[in-house]
Amino acid sequence: MAVPMKEKVNTRSIVYPPKYSFSTKKQVEPSIKEDVGQSVSRLWRSSGNPINRVTGNREGGGSFQVTHTGLFVNPGSVENICWPSAQRTYSGPVIGSFIKSPHWEHYKQEPQSAPDEKGLNAAGATAIAQCAPNNPTANLSSTLGESMRDGIPSLPGISLWKKKTEILKSLGSEYLNYQFGWRPLKEEVSNVVNAARQHRDVMQNYRHNEGRDVHRRFDYPDERQVYEHEVGLANAVGWPSGSKYQSLSQPAATVVTVTENVRKRWFEGCFTYGGPSKTDSFGRHLGFGSEADAVYGLNLSPDVLWEMTPWSWAVDWFTNAGDVIHNVGNFAAAGLVMRYGYMMEENISTTYTRYGSSCWNYFTDSGQVKSKREGPCSIGYLNVSKSRVPANPFGFGVGWEGLSPTQLAITAAIGITRFL
């Protein structure tokens, strides 16, 4: 078995309060402190938290594996129970004795010294698919493409606007010219203007939110296995006698042995996104939206349209739009990244004896002895292992060396760097 990096041993003690005389209300026996067992914490693996060279702050931690093994005890509690022949009362914790379960083989008593990285990576990938925000880069590409699909003339159509405007300006405004000449041209211009403005607004919103953080968590359902065996009735908890407790009255408590295994798995991450460089056609495309704004506020007529020539911005916008959509589409698979992402797992294995409530004697104010049920408790052993596996900015199971140049460029652009 592997040797742990660190180990810490803790002793579990229970303090039993003093006992008092019922008649005089004075203490007749001192409190008792009893060591009931030990627990051992072991750190098997830890890659530590790297320090950001720019800020000096520690980044998110790496993978680790830690275990806790030892005594499991859940004392019961009683109030003013008594031993009539001794005229003494007691209030405090009560415990029983451990009885080995017939299902002992299901108790995982060996500490898990290494995390199941393959299983955790697979679970982490599924968790990201379930909880990641929709990729804004992919949505941007789709939205821009939709706005280009309907009502936009072809590039030759835009390039002929100047010539069409010159002809319409010379013909005047007779009905047929309006219906079949000016009206279609005005609609074409309006469609291009609206599309250019929409592109600008969509891209400005995208750029505004670029680099902002979205936190997500995904919990898998707990996996639980429980094995129980009823031992019967036993008087295992009660009045202190030396360092042990013995019950005083009947009926006795119901005793059950339990072996239980629970696995908990969950993902936590912080998502953000990057996009095409601010120096490429993406940034230039925003300017065309501003040009369209100037036209949008005008009451178009052949004369106004003529004054607005040349229409090179519309040609440039139409040509540039295809490049922007293409560039954004290329970033769709790599635009969404994680500032941090962790897949975590906790395995808890316990085997213990559970005592139900016992029927205890107690004194009434008039000195009568009556009975009441109190003091359920459990005692046994547990083994807890906790694992954590980190992701790189693009998911689990792929090292930084497996990232493409585009992916590395995106992480650098939004300030995510691998610190050694």
pLDDT in tens, 41-54: 999 888 765 555 55
Cis peptide leading into residue 251 (ω within 30°):
yes
pLDDT at 185 over 90: no
Both tokens of 23, joined, read 């008649």
Give the residue numbers spanning the domain of 369: 6-413
Does pLDDT of 258 surpass 80?
Answer: yes
Between helices 183-209 and 136-147, what is the axis angle to 10°?
A: 170
Where does residue 196 fall: left (phi above 0), alpha (psi -120 to 50 degrees), or beta otherwise?
A: alpha
* Residue 327 within any structural domain of the chain: yes
pLDDT digits (tens, 9 = 90+) for 101-111: 899 999 988 87
CA distances from residue 309 to 94, 168, 182, 229, 293 in whole angstroms, order as listed: 94, 14, 16, 91, 15
Residue 229 lies in a domain: yes
In this predicted structure, the answer to whether residue 331 has a pLDDT above a threshold of 80 is no
pLDDT band at 214 (very low <50, low <70, confident <90, very high): confident
Q: Please state the rounded mean pLDDT for residues 294-303.
A: 58
Flag whether pLDDT at 295 surpasses 90. Answer: no
Read off the pLDDT band of 244 (50, 70, 90): very low
Residue 303 phi, psi (nearest 5): -70, -45
- Tell me, yes or no, whether 124 lies in a domain: yes
The mean predicted confidence, pLDDT, of the chain is 76
Q: Structural domain tally of the chain? A: 1
Asked if residue 268 belongs to a domain, the reply is yes
- CA proximity to 336, closest of 274, 404, 399: 274
pLDDT digits (tens, 9 = 90+) for 78-131: 888 887 676 788 888 888 888 888 999 999 888 788 888 888 988 988 898 888
Q: What is the pLDDT of residue 115?
A: 81
With a cut of 50, say whether residue 19 has pLDDT above it.
yes
203: amino acid identity, one letter: M
CB of 236 closer than 8 Å to CB of 208: no
Asked, for residue 293, whether it belongs to a domain, the answer is yes
Residue type for position 317 = W
Provide the Cα torsion 335, 340, 341, 345; round to 10°. Answer: 180
- Pick the more confident residue, 223 or 158: 223
Contacts of 309 (CB under 8 A, 6+ apart): 161, 162, 165
Is 127 within a domain? yes
Nearest to 138 by CA among 10, 298, 327: 327
Per mean pLDDT, which range of 10-19, 188-197, 285-294 is the poorest?
285-294
Q: Say if 234 falls within a structural domain.
A: yes
Predicted TM-score (pTM) of this structure: 0.72
**pLDDT-derived band of residue 419, with 50, 70 and 90 as boundaries?**
very low
Name the range with the highest mean pLDDT among 200-209, 233-242, 330-339, 401-410: 200-209
pLDDT tens track for 60-71: 567 889 999 999
Distance from C-alpha of 241 to C-alpha of 77, rounded to nearest angstrom: 17
Is 147 inside a domain boundary?
yes
